Structure 1
Amino acid sequence: MKINKAFCISVVMSFLLTACNNKIEQPAAKIESNNISFLAFGDGGYHPDYPKKKHIENPRNKEQFIKKEIEDWLEDYRPIEEFDHAPIYIYPNTEIATEMTGASAVGIAMAKLCQTRECEFALQLGDNVYPDGADAKDGKDDQKRMDDLILKPLIPLFAENPDLVVYSALGNHDWKSSRRGVELQTNWMAEQPNFYLDAKGYYQYKIGQPGNDVEFFVLDTNMLLSAKPIYEIPLNPDGSEMELAEAKLKGIGELEVAEPHENPVNGEDIVQIEWLTKGLANSTAKWKIVYGHHILWSIGGTKYSEGHVLRERLMPMLCEYADAYIAGHEHDLELLTDDCSVYLPGNTRPPLPLIISGAASKMRGKHTPFAEQQEKRYPEYDLLWSKSFVWGFAHINLDNQADKLDVEFFTTPRNLSNELVPEVKFSFDRR
């Protein structure tokens, strides 16, 4: 699909004028049939124009950049034969290298899919603004930052479907700078006709007709994690998790401490858990789907400590009530399940699908030895499919005739051709 630049600009200006006069008060989405179809993408807010400080303060040329990537890869006990890296971007008039962004390519690919598939709305899975959220104190205008990182990559999607609403979650990078940074983002979204993010950071909304509807519960998982101690423990050389006691004995376990502004105020993490428990238990929707930024399980080999903490906080409710949990955070595409046997002994319901779609602008590799060790250690966990070092997203359809949740993954090539590449499709029974 060729995107007309003048048309896109006029569409955006029209959207902004509409937002000023008709601020969205409640989430709304267009429903075309009894089935409900939507996009899920995460970690899309990255562009080299907004670099990490380390890439400016400690610049590397392309050769040095790749060398450091290899060093980090081997330090994590990853097989060298599986090494890869994202396409490299060189800053103009310099030799300074960083990774390319796939945000625009993914936006165009999603627009192409929505020419032939129903895309009634979209889930944005956090890390909408890299690297430090709004209020980054880098001398750049925050309104332009959010226009560039959140809105601009999705202009082709809104040109294809002007009524599409993106229901957003917050990620750890959105929280990076300050609470004011979070507030700036929620205020920005409140002025956009195509975005919704509740000021609390977590919220619920229902879509569809009674009897064939879905209720979504959007979490602020950074708030849930910041309240708990998280020990970053290195893996053993075979990819297995080192025990906490051994790590402490060796003096290599590191306690991850949240920034002061991230610490929950007045027990707001507990309030969020109580809200989720009550909401799921009382929901009358046919489908109940929970999503947030952080993963419960993954194969990346670096986020598993967070997964342990988040599973303890969320899995009892998810296993009891939810039909799926969707996350980003890992910059890849993954599909896993948890059979809920740990939290619901004797469970006879279908496994809980865990959908990871965090490849909307950045790439990350999997850790094959870690993935194999996870399968051995945790019988409740099952990895169905994954693809790393890609840009991509998920499309999900709730089939109300067959009572199936269908999830398809799509990628777009790293050569920035904007091609839409179908990967795989899986179906799950409604739980």
Structure 2
Amino acid sequence: MSRHFLPLLGLLLTACAPTIGGTAGPPVVPLPDITATLGIPDPERLRVVVMGDQGTGDGIQRQVAAAMRSVCKQRGCDLGVGLGDNFYPAGPKEASSPLFKTRFEDIYGPLDIPFLMVPGNHDESGLFGGDGTNARGAEAEVAYSKLNPQWVMPGRTYRAPVGAEQGGNLAEFFAVDTSPLAAYLPVRRANERPGGPWDAAQREWLTQSLQRSSARWKLVLGHHPLFSNGKHGDAGRYDGLPFAFQRGDAVRDLYGLACGGADMLLSGHVHALEVFAPQPECPGTWTAVSGAAGEIGGGKVGTRKAAAEFFGQPGFMWLDVTPQMLMINIYTVAPEGVPTLAATQEIRKEAN
């Protein structure tokens, strides 16, 4: 479906959809506080490989996976992160789908580390691939996590404390589902539309979880980016689309609750590798996009100053986390699967 047709179709469906919000709307039911607790060999060092938009099943996905294995063998990996669009063009609707084997188990099983996973808009496809309208795809991924412990996704929204240092965890990850908040068409479940009770509940969960956390480093995981110079752009201006539910106003507002409370926002969606220092719109929080582990394409469009950015090249990120420092390493990948360390950025914290 042409993207030029989306605004017109979105307007038609929005006009036919029930209104969400207002004083007569359904009450907000708190989301369950789902936790995935993970152990690591060294409680004061965490090494994380970060991929996004990987689920193509083609040669690029396999080349990047081979490069990830090479880096993990050389530098060590304790944990993986998958930032959504785990399947193209659309995610499976059942946990028994063979796609889980061919797009995940066969490719990332040899890494032998758990992956914290979040859903993307292609995983939640409804009318067409990537529209982000059907949460059944995300629920299939949650169900699959019960079948394969390497795929860690106990809920669409969950947290994962990792490691332990005196007084708290070394790091804690907070996974959110952004797909219903930037769907190209109104999502099927009316209560999950932007501004509705599910959106409000996820915001409340993120706010409370960040405030309660005593982790040294706090990282939020979501598919859609807050900032990007790529073709989708910043949250609130995605793709130049006209309607708030399409352009990611609710994604911007959700992440805004983490600004200053989280150390980093990690996302995909844009098929590039980008790192941004704290911005005026989100002070105190670094943002990074790692969305080139399968899909690539689309050059630089925006002009926001980046600490590092790479377009049109497959790749991934590798994080090295200690109590005093979080180091971001960006790797680009050659066609034969050879990784190149393209950029490094250090984020330091003063000792307690």
Q: Counterpart of 1:279?
A: 209
Q: TM-score, normalised by structure 1?
A: 0.63
Q: Counterpart of 1:389?
A: 312
Q: Counterpart of 2:160?
A: 205
Deviant stretches of 4+, over 6 Å: none
Select between 304-313 and 319-328 the one with higher mean Cα deviation. Answer: 304-313
Q: Tell me if the contact between 2:331 and 2:342 (Cα under 8 Å) persists in the aligned partners.
A: yes
Distance 1:181 1:430, change over 3 A: same
Whole-angstrom distance in 2 between the partners of 1:33 and 1:289: 17
Alignment of 1:300-319 (within 5 A): 300-304=230-234, 305-306=237-238, 309-310=249-250, 312-319=252-259
Q: Counterpart of 2:16?
A: none
Distance 1:148 1:262, change over 3 A: farther
Determine whether 1:145 maps to 2:99: yes
Alignment of 1:361-400 (within 5 A): 361-367=294-300, 370-372=301-303, 375=304, 382-400=305-323
Structure with greater proportional helix content: 1
Pairing partner for 2:173 from 216, 233, 251? 216
2:329 is paired with a residue whose SS is strand
Specify every segment of 5 or more residues in structure 1 that has no aligned partner in the other structure, as ranges.
1-24, 48-99, 159-163, 227-255, 345-350, 376-381
Q: Counterpart of 2:3?
A: none
Distance 1:332 1:316, change over 3 A: closer
Determine whether 1:187 maps to 2:143: yes
Determine whether 1:127 maps to 2:85: yes
1:146 is paired with a residue whose SS is helix
Q: Tell me if the contact between 2:96 and 2:144 (Cα under 8 Å) persists in the aligned partners.
A: no
Cα displacement (A) at 1:156 = 3.1
Counterpart amino acid of 2:313? Answer: V
Cα displacement (A) at 1:195 = 1.2
Cα displacement (A) at 1:331 = 1.0
Q: TM-score, normalised by structure 2?
A: 0.77
Whole-angstrom distance in 1 between the partners of 2:333 and 2:190: 35
Number of paired residues? 295
Q: Counterpart of 1:238?
A: none
Q: Counterpart of 1:62?
A: none
Distance 1:42 1:206, change over 3 A: same
Q: Counterpart of 2:32?
A: none
Determine whether 1:428 maps to 2:351: no
Cα displacement (A) at 1:343 = 5.8
Q: CA RMSD in A?
A: 2.4
Pairing partner for 1:37 from 38, 42, 47? 47
Determine whether 1:360 maps to 2:279: no
Q: Tell me if the contact between 2:182 and 2:248 (Cα under 8 Å) persists in the aligned partners.
A: no
How far does the alpha carbon of each residue in 1:166-215 deviate from its partner, in whole angstroms, 9 at most, with x for none?
1100111111033333222221222002111123x010010111335111
Counterpart amino acid of 1:406? Answer: M
Cα displacement (A) at 1:308 = 5.8
Determine whether 1:258 maps to 2:186: yes
Whole-angstrom distance in 2 between the partners of 1:110 and 1:130: 20
Distance 1:29 1:108, change over 3 A: farther
Determine whether 1:176 maps to 2:125: yes
